[in-house]
Structure 1
Amino acid sequence: MQPNELKAVIRFNDFAAYFGPRGVVAMAWWMGAIHAARIRNDQNSFPFLQVIGDAGVGKTLLLDYLQKLNGQTPYGHSLAHATPAGRTRTFACARQRVVICENYDGSERTVDWDELKPLYSAGSMLLRSGAGESEQVTFRGALVITANQPLECSEAVSSRMILVDLSATDAHTPRVRPDAIGDLDASEASAFGIKVAQSEDWICSNLQAFLPAYQGQLTRKHGVSLSARTALNCAQMICLIDLLCNLLSISQELQLEARKLIHDIAFLDTIPY
C-alpha cells in the first residue's frame, strides 16, 4: 500500500486536523511501540508516553484512534486499583501490547511510580506469588499513562517519559468534528499496524543508524545541562517522527512542528527548578 493510500485509509488528514503536531508525536511513539521490545533490546530503552489534558480535551479519542491502528482492543488499567503483584502480572501478560494506565480517578490509594522504572529499559520484573515464590518476567509491550495533570513522581520516572499535553496553551485547535476520526473502521485502520509490523527491520535499523547523530545534535544545541536520558528519549522520538513522515508522506511543515515539540522537551530539561 502506497503512502497516500495508507493515509487515506487511516484518515490521517482528519487526525492531523484534530490533533495537529501533538498527534504526530503520539502516532510516531505508537509506531515505535509496536517494536518496543526490539528497540529496548537494541538501545536498552524505550520511553513511556504520558498524555495529559483537561477532561473532554480528547485523550480518550486520541488513544482509541491509535489503538485501532494496530488492531488492539481498547484497554485501560488503573494502577491505583491494583496491588504491586497485580500490576506486575498485568505488565507480564501484556505481551507486545500497549498498556494504557489511567491516573485520574481521584483514588486515595497511591502508586509508587518508581515501580515502573524497569519497564523503560530491560523490561524485567520479579513476579511474586502468594506462596512466596518468585519468577523473572519480561515486559515486551509499551506503556502509556494518561491523566488530567502531570504525574507527581520522581525525576527518575519523569525523565523516562515523553509528555504530550493536549491542554497546553499552544495546543492545536481542532478543525474537524471528533466523529471524523472517532468512527474510523478498526479493520481498515489495522492496515497501518500491518505495514509497521512488516517494516520492523527498516524502522529499527534506521533508529540504530541515526540515533547517535540526533543525540549529538541535541547535546550541541542544548549543552551539558541536557541529561543523557532525555537526549536519548528525544533522539529516538525525532527519528521516529522522521520515519513516520516518510511512511505516510507527511508534509515537511507538520514534520518540523512535531520535531519542535520534542526539542521543547529537551529545552525544558535544561532549565533548573
Structure 2
Amino acid sequence: MQNELQSAIRFDDFHAVFGSQGVVALAWWLGAQHVSQIRTEEQGFPFLYVTGRTGSGKTTLLSYLSTLNGSNSVTSYAPAHATPMGLARALSDAGEHPVVLEDGYGSDRRFDWSQLAPLYKSEPIWVITQGGHSQITFKGTLVISANPPIECSKQFVSRTVHIDLLAPHTVNSRYHAESLQQLTADQASVFSQFVQRQAAQTISTIQRLAPVYAASLYDKHPSQPNARATQIGGLLMALVDALSLTLNLSHEQRQEALGQIEHNVALADLSY
C-alpha cells in the first residue's frame, strides 16, 4: 500500500526536486494533520518557515503540500497588507488547517511576527479592531513563506522549522517539478485519507520516539542552550519515522532527513 501511495502522490518527483529538505517539510506536514493532539503531547507545535529567492521552488513546495490536503491552489495572506480584523478572520476560520502567511516584502508596513508566537501553543492572541480588541484562539498551525527572510526575533524563529531553498532548479529537477505541478487534488487526496486511517500509529510513534530523540540530541550536544531546538528536533525526527512508515521511505531517504535535523540542532539553527 505504501508504494502505491508513493506513486499516487508522485513522491519520487517530489524527492528529486526537494531532497531531504522536502522529506523534513513533508514530515512536518504529516504532523500538521494531527496538530491538536501533537500540541497537547509536546506542549507546542512549530510553524513551517520556507525561504528562498524567486524561482527556488517555494510556490511549488507549498502547492504540492496543499494538493495533498485536497486543494488545487494555495490560499495565502500577507499580514503586512491585511487589516488586523482580516488576519483574525483568516485564523479563526481555518479550524485545524495550516494557514499560509507571506511576508509583505516591499510594503511600507512591517508586521510584528512576535505577536503570533503564542500560537505555537495555541494560546489566544489579541488583535486591535475597530471595536477595540478581539481575542483569537487558533487551533491550526502556520506556514510562513518569505523572500528575503522575515525580520523577527530569535524567540519567534525558535518556534519554526526553517526550510531554506537555496539550490536553483536544474534541467532534471524542472522536469520533476513540472510533473508535480500536474498532480491534481483528486489524485493526491489519497494521502490525507491514508494519514487519517493511520492516525493512531502516527501518534503512537511520536509518543514513543520524540522524547527519545530529544534526549539523544541533548546528550550529544549538551552545549546547545536552546531546549526548544532539541524538543522540536526530536519531534521532527519522530515525524520522519512516522512518514517512513506511511510512505515506506528508503533507508537512505530516512537517514538523510534524520541527519540533517541533527546537524542543524547541533548548530543551534533550525534551518532544514
Which residue identity is paired with 1:243? A
Pairwise CA distance, 1:226: 3.7
Pairwise CA distance, 1:84: 3.1
Provide the residue aligned with 1:210 in structure 2.
Answer: 209
Aligned CA distance change for structure 1 residues 46 and 133 (closer, same or farther; 3 Å): closer
Provide the residue aligned with 2:76 in structure 1.
Answer: 76
Aligned CA distance change for structure 1 residues 150 and 132 (closer, same or farther; 3 Å): closer
Pairwise CA distance, 1:175: 7.0
Provide the residue aligned with 1:27 in structure 2.
Answer: 26
CA distance in 2, matches of 1:120, 1:221: 26
Secondary structure in 2 aligned to 1:80?
coil
Which residue identity is paired with 1:233? I
Provide the residue aligned with 2:240 in structure 1.
Answer: 241
Aligned CA distance change for structure 1 residues 6 and 250 (closer, same or farther; 3 Å): same
Which residue identity is paired with 2:214? Q
Which residue identity is paired with 2:220? K
Pairwise CA distance, 1:168: 5.6
Provide the residue aligned with 1:163 in structure 2.
Answer: 162
Superposition pairs for residues 109-148 of structure 1, below 5 Å? 109-126=109-126, 129-132=129-132, 134=134, 136-148=135-147
Which residue identity is paired with 1:28? A
Provide the residue aligned with 1:100 in structure 2.
Answer: 100
- Give unmatched runs, 5+ long, in structure 2: none
Secondary structure in 1 aligned to 2:189?
helix
Task: Judge conservation of contact 2:56–2:167 (CA < 8 Å) in 1.
Answer: no
CA deviations on 1:99-132 (whole Å, 9 max, x unpaired) are 1111154112101111111110134233565333
The percentage of counterpart residues that share the same residue type is 39
Task: Judge conservation of contact 2:224–2:266 (CA < 8 Å) in 1.
Answer: no
Which residue identity is paired with 2:106? G
TM-score for both structures, normalised by structure 2: 0.91
Which residue identity is paired with 1:205? S
Moved over 6 A (4+): none
Which residue identity is paired with 2:232? N
- Give unmatched runs, 5+ long, in structure 1: none
Provide the residue aligned with 1:63 in structure 2.
Answer: 62
**How many residues are treated as equivalent by the alignment?**
266
Superposition pairs for residues 9-20 of structure 1, below 5 Å? 9-20=8-19
Provide the residue aligned with 1:178 in structure 2.
Answer: 177
